[in-house]
Amino acid sequence: MRAPSRNFANNHEPLPSQRPDNTAFTQQRLPAWQPLLSASIILPFFFLIGLTFIGIGIGLYYSSNSIKEFEYDYTGDIPGDRCFDCVNASKFCPCNYTFTIKEFFPAPVFMYYELSNFYQNHYRYMISRDENQLNGDLDSLKNPANECVPYRVSSEQKPIAPCGAVANSMFNDIITLFYNENGTFVEVPLNGKGISWWTDYNTKFRNPVNGDQNLSDIFSGTSKPNNWLTAAWNLSSDSYNNGFVNEDFIVWMRSAALPTFRKLYRRIESGNFTDGLRAGEYQLRFQYNFQVNSFAGRKKIVFSTVSWMGGKNPFLGIAYLVFGSLCTVFAIIMLIVFIKYQGKMDED
């Protein structure tokens, strides 16, 4: 059957008009300001921007250079290095390094570990975690997400907590610092509380709760990650720093964007070192466990002070100086061109 056609000629209802309303806005009759980009406007603008950026760059560069840093590479891959015997040794191989700080490091002094050639930004590595499990979900604790494979279930067919490649590869060297005071090395107190982001510690990471059960009972029936020496619920002697809210663990789980990165390990700001690190002889004592030779990596320990702009980073100051200098150079070039051709334009 043929569908009846609509007879537009016999349709007495007028079609709606497609023309916009006759207003200043819809008809684009609103008053507008169009700047005239003359030399008297552009040249001062370029000079102002250039000099402003140069001034900011000098301030940033000076601030970065005022930060004091000391670093030591304890990879131990070269014969004769203090940690050379630990490269292929068993778990927690001890090695020491004695050094001298020649100038005062004002508090707070931050202690970092630095890893090189470690690609935390690899896609498969980054997604190998279970956010629900880390947020304290009991179901995910017993049944981790598939993204954690092959670190989802242990060889005993128990769920791994925390699961995934990121947690399994957690940095686990133990580092202590000692100061030579009158011929005797005394331990420098290292503060590990508050080293993670506030949002991570208070929002993103949560321990599972199941009535009045202890954390060890809640984690019963799960396995620790393959490379860990202890279960998650027993990472620290402090109850507030165990399980998924262990701050060393939280710091590690925030993936770095570059293959060479630093992560905060401790702060030095208490005891006899409230004012900072005094000049003198110190000794670092390592419990060497985190192996880096398998991926041709390196590891360092870094002591650093901070300024109003954060840690040492000369790149930002250099970037401002380069951009400001380019603006100033272009302004000078445009000024020369303007002076040279201004007379000819006036004659024409």
Transcribe 207-228 into DSSP letters. ----TT--HHHHTTT-B--TT-
Q: At residue 19, what is the residue type?
A: R
Same domain, 85 and 222: yes
Residue 307: what pLDDT? 83
Given a cut of 70, the residues of the chain with pLDDT beneath it are 1-15, 343-348
Asked if 243 and 338 sit in the same domain, the reply is: no
Per-residue pLDDT at 347:
58
Q: What is the pLDDT of residue 189?
A: 93
Same domain flag for 150 and 51: no
Contact at 8 Å (CB) between 96 and 82? Answer: yes
Distances 322 to 51, 119, 203, 226, 233 between C-alpha atoms, Å: 11, 30, 40, 48, 51
| In-domain check, residue 102 | yes
The reported pTM is: 0.80
pLDDT in tens, 204-228: 999 999 888 899 899 998 999 999 9
Q: Is 76 helix (H, G, I), strand (E, B) or coil?
A: coil
Give the pLDDT confidence score for residue 43 in this predicted structure: 87
Q: What is the pLDDT of residue 164?
A: 95
> In whole angstroms, what is the distance from residue 126 CA to residue 140 CA?
18
- What stretches of 121-188 adopt beta strand conformation (E)? 174-181, 184-187
**Number of domains present in the structure of the chain:** 2
Residue 115 is inside which H or E element, if any? Answer: strand 109-116
CA distance 333 to 160: 65
Q: Do 148 and 231 lie in a common domain?
A: yes
Range of the domain at 88: 72-305
